[in-house]
Amino acid sequence: MYLWKYWRESRITFAVGVALVGLLLWAVLKIHMGAFGPGQPDDPSQLYLLIATPLTLPLGFLALRYGSFGVGSDLGRGSGSFLFSRPRSRAFFVWNDWSFGMAQLLLIVVAANLVLRLAVYRIAADSGPILLNGGPVSMFSIFLLHCAAGLVLAGLIFGLTYFSSVLARGHGAMIAIGVLVAYSIAKSVVKHYWVDINLPDVSLIEFSRSRFGIGFADHLGLEIALRAAVALAFPVAAQMLLQQRDVE
């Protein structure tokens, strides 16, 4: 089965992701309950965001690794002609790579956010609703939001790397890193010279501050939808590229 082939390539990366979640859980269990004390209703959301932000780097690394597997790596090794001689369409290989890779990333993202939820509970000693935009919001809703934020970030980096691997025949990780770095520089330059123009961040900004206190960022649903659309556009582009390419 083709999925078994992808699993053989990606299982070490998946094991690394699970190990990182395990280390995070071990660190969280060392935290004393109520370390910050209860009674501050907006602390859990800020705390959740604070401890979730450092996970962006390892999650991005895992997504880069997953995007380097599959069809792109076969093209780089020169085994693409054998692979595509199978009685399957090229779209079959692309979408099996993408769906199986995203399924593994989803498991890691959910597991990491469950551990973060436990960390917030142990530190803040408060599992009840918090106040955002002047109204009560459950921590479960924030948990789901952070899962979505982590997944769209992973999907963007995974998709970019996968498309780059198909484009450059197996050298997608370096291209993806270059694109991400160039975009970050361009964002800073645009902000410096055109203050009113804000290019979107690669990672989702879930919360923002205003005179009413901390709350959900503006147009949050639209931001999630646009990032999801861009993440899906990369495997579509990879499929179109493969269908037009003669593989030797």
SS (H, E, C) the chain: CHHHHHHHHHHHHHHHHHHHHHHHHHHHHCCCCCCCCCCCCCHHHHHHHHHHHHHHHHHHHHHHHHHCCCHHHHHHHCCHHHHCCCCCCHHHHHHHHHHHHHHHHHHHHHHHHHHHHHHHHHHHCCCCCEEECCEEECHHHHHHHHHHHHHHHHHHHHHHHHHHHHHCCCCHHHHHHHHHHHHHHHHHHHHHHCCCCCCCCCCCCCEEEECCEEEECCCHHHHHHHHHHHHHHHHHHHHHHHHHCCCC
- Residues facing 136 on adjacent strands: 131
CA 173 to chain centroid: 15
pLDDT of amino acid 49? 65
Strands 135-137 and 130-132: antiparallel
The answer to whether the beta carbons of residues 150 and 116 sit under 8 Å apart is: no
Q: What CA–CA distance (Å, rounded) separates 67 from 157?
A: 8
Query: What's the total number of domains in the chain?
Result: 1
Q: How many CB atoms are located within 10 Å of the residue 55 CB?
A: 21
| Of residues 53, 52, 46, the one with CA closest to residue 124 | 46
Domain residue limits at 28: 2-244
pLDDT of amino acid 42? 45
The token pair that represents 101 in the structure block: 């890779």
Q: What is the pLDDT along the chain (248 residues), one digit of tens a residue?
A: 667 778 888 899 999 999 999 998 998 888 767 655 554 444 555 666 666 677 888 999 999 999 988 887 767 666 555 566 666 777 888 898 899 999 999 999 999 989 888 887 777 765 566 666 667 777 788 888 889 989 999 999 999 999 998 888 767 889 999 999 998 898 888 887 887 878 888 887 777 766 555 677 778 888 899 999 999 999 999 988 888 766 55
Q: What CA–CA distance (Å, rounded) separates 87 from 198?
A: 47
The answer to whether the beta carbons of residues 152 and 224 sit under 8 Å apart is: yes
What residues contact residue 153 under an 8 Å CB cut-off, 6+ apart? Answer: 56, 59, 60, 63, 202, 203, 204, 227
- This prediction has a pTM of 0.87
Q: Given its phi and psi angles, is residue 189 left (phi above 0), alpha (psi -120 to 50 degrees) or beta?
A: alpha
Amino acid sitting at position 85: S
In degrees rounded to 5, what are phi and psi of residue 33?
-60, 135
